[in-house]
Structure 1
């Protein structure tokens, strides 16, 4: 009986201790970074890991617009960012090196760069059901040191229980894109 009670006690202790873990696993914020000092950012072209060739441009456009709408920071227009990338000779604008990030920050006169990866975008199928899905990751690079100071991920859409039971095509792509981008922005602020 004692062994049984001690086993239950240990099990309950592990259960409660597991519930004490803090923080999101899909977000990183550098504790030494003063995010209030970031006033101007450059949103670089996003990497595209999907079959849709224009998905990264669409998501970048939605992200930049929603970021500007917050009023928290100013995002440079895409043409200015492209001009800075060409002027500095950044080899891969979606993933600049530390030196390239510092150099690009100086040329564009921004406090931070935001890069991103669109991992999934579009329709997914399972049996007779289809739905739209988006999955993205973004990071902020401070331009004085080239350090990554924030990173977050978001996934929206997919095939839910109601889609499996009743069919249907899920939510529209623009709706889940806006929801995923809004989730990312909320993790930034």
Structure 2
């Protein structure tokens, strides 16, 4: 009788563990790493955000554009901020003779912020992207990015964020919630970064 109770206990423990893995996914997922080098302006209550075209350090020719548009879309969908239009950003950069993928200088950041009414800009580098349409079936779906929040007045990097994910980290029971494409993974990575920023002090714009 005693032996039965012990075995029954372990069965229950194993069942609870399996149910937890099914509910949360089997892979451990770390939060984005956010390095806060300085405080955000206006105590973090930011209304207007400008996202600069991202730098592409991957073999994928479309990595920067793909993640840029998904990230800005997710930032806009929060309903918390005004996001500068991509066309306006690119037009001003062309006028300043800044090529896509080129680092902006302090004066260029100041000018961009002044013309678009942004106290911060977000710059980014795509350092890993695999499993996209160009590589479908040949490589696992993975993504790694570095994003920086820069103050336009000073040109200082206020926050620096690193985040890496693999699609297999989101595999769940019977494939429900499974991520199959780099676009799906980019959306989740963007959401996790934005959530981390809000938790760290990027506040909702009041009166937007």
Gapped regions of structure 1 (runs ≥ 5): 1-23, 163-168
Equivalent residue number for residue 181 of structure 1:
190
TM-score, normalised via structure 1 length: 0.72
Shift in alpha-carbon separation, 1:150–1:94, aligned structure 2, 3 A: farther
Q: If each structure's strand is expressed as a fraction of its own residues, which one has the higher value?
A: 1
CA distance in 2, matches of 1:170, 1:72: 27
Q: Which has the higher contact order (CA 8 A, sep 6+)?
A: 2
Cα offsets for 1:138-188 (capped at 9, x unmatched): 01111111111111111111667x9xxxxxx97322221111111211222
Q: Does the aligned pair in 1 maintain the 2:106–2:155 contact within 8 Å? A: yes
Cα offsets for 1:14-37 (capped at 9, x unmatched): xxxxxxxxxx89211244324533
Q: Does the aligned pair in 1 maintain the 2:118–2:152 contact within 8 Å? A: yes
**51, 61, 67: which one pairs with 2:59?**
51
TM-score, normalised via structure 2 length: 0.66
Equivalent residue number for residue 16 of structure 2:
none
Q: Does the aligned pair in 2 maintain the 1:45–1:93 contact within 8 Å? A: yes
Write out aligned runs for 1:1-189 (5 A).
26-34=33-41, 35-90=43-98, 94-123=102-131, 130-157=139-166, 171-189=180-198
Equivalent residue number for residue 3 of structure 1:
none
Q: Does the aligned pair in 1 maintain the 2:32–2:192 contact within 8 Å? A: no
Gapped regions of structure 2 (runs ≥ 5): 1-30, 133-137, 172-177, 199-208
Alignment root-mean-square deviation, CA: 2.7
